[in-house]
Amino acid sequence: MGRSNDAIEKIRQLIASGELSPGARLPREPDLAAQLGLSRSSMREAVTALVHAQVLDVRRGDGTYVTSLEPHRLLEGIAHAVELMQDDTLPEIFELRRLLEPQATALAAERITPEQLARLRGHLDAMRRSETIEELITHDAEFHACIMAATGNRTLTSVVNGLAARALRARTWNALNIADARERIMSQHRAIYEALEAGDAALALSWATIHVTASEKDLLRTIPPADRRSTSPA
């Protein structure tokens, strides 16, 4: 992997320096390999790795291009990684969510637009009307995605949305007694919405903290105690 790592780094440097800008087409493989002093096999491995990382995009019959390099593309692998994590690492994911998601929700309270509030209200109402668990999960995810989008920070949005992977959200809802839990969770969503509507960042932060903490407790009920890894100080 040493040579392919060197190739990845050299291509990365071309992008970082601006020699290859977002949307730019890479030179032909043999030409770029010669330019960088690399073998064609190392170049091919590097391109494959960078395609998986959403840095490059191979278009059949056209060539290889640098992607837009937008945060949502570069960071979309976070959700896939979270979905593959083992039970004993999930408390660490929620610890990170508690650090980021409430602060992001507070930021959204300061920046959310009337149009974004209307979309948020639509998902809140749709959650209330949902007749299936799939509908609930979809609108729950969209509710939180709308909040993150309202921050105006695409990198923060990508990270937080990735940490709140759909698979974890589905696992939490499926583990709950919906009749007992639905109103409790809906009340938390309503409180978050009302704080955002009022533009009250402190209240939005508080309710988001409560909601993330409650979600963690709900999910941890599905994990045997012996399989949990504590994130609390010793």
The answer on pLDDT for 112 being more than 70 is: yes
- Each residue of 179-190: pLDDT tens digit? 567 788 899 999
In this prediction, residue 227 carries a pLDDT of: 54
What token pair was written down for 56?
Answer: 């490059």
- Residue 66: helix, strand or coil by DSSP? strand
pTM above 0.85, yes or no: no
Name the more confident of 5 and 196: 196
| CA-closest candidate to residue 149, choices 187, 182, 123 | 123
For the chain, percent of residues with pLDDT exceeding 70: 90
What token pair was written down for 129?
Answer: 């009307």
In this prediction, residue 99 carries a pLDDT of: 94
What token pair was written down for 91?
Answer: 């408390």
Partners of 64 in the β-ladder: 58
- Each residue of 54-65: pLDDT tens digit? 899 999 888 999
CB 144 within 8 A of CB 63: no
For the chain, percent of residues with pLDDT exceeding 90: 43
The answer on pLDDT for 172 being more than 50 is: yes
In this prediction, residue 175 carries a pLDDT of: 66
Question: For the chain, what's the residue count?
Answer: 234
Mean pLDDT of all residues belonging to the chain: 86
DSSP label of 59: E
In this prediction, residue 233 carries a pLDDT of: 43
DSSP label of 19: S
